[in-house]
Amino acid sequence: MSTITINPYTPAWGYNPATMAQAGMLRLLRSHNIPVDIPYDNKIVPVSLQLPEIGESSRFTLPLDPLVSVSGKNNIVCRNIACNDGSIHGTVKEKWNRDDWDITIAGLMIADQYRSLNDNIQLLRTYIEYNKAIEIVCEYLNVGYEILYVVIESFDFPFTKGEDYQTYTLKCKSDDSNINLLI
Report the alpha-carbon distance of residue 141 to residue 137 in Å, rounded: 8
| Percentage of the chain lying above the pLDDT 70 cut | 71
Q: Assign 112 a pLDDT band (cuts: 50, 70, 90).
A: confident
| Average predicted confidence (pLDDT) for the chain | 77
pLDDT the model gives residue 31: 55
- Spell out where the chain has E strands: 48-50, 60-61, 67-71, 74-80, 91-98, 102-110, 134-137, 149-156, 165-174
- Per the DSSP assignment, residues forming a β-bridge with 107 are 168
141-183: per-residue pLDDT in tens?
A: 999 999 999 999 999 999 988 888 899 999 999 998 655 544 4
pLDDT the model gives residue 89: 76
Instruction: Give the number of C-alpha atoms closer than 13 A to the C-alpha of residue 95, restricted to the C-beta side.
Output: 5
78-87: per-residue pLDDT in tens?
A: 988 777 677 7
pLDDT the model gives residue 115: 85
- Given a cut of 80, whether residue 35 has pLDDT beyond it is no
pLDDT the model gives residue 43: 58
Strand 74-80 to strand 91-98: parallel, antiparallel, or no bridges (unpaired)?
Answer: antiparallel
Are the CB atoms for 15 and 6 separated by under 8 Å? no
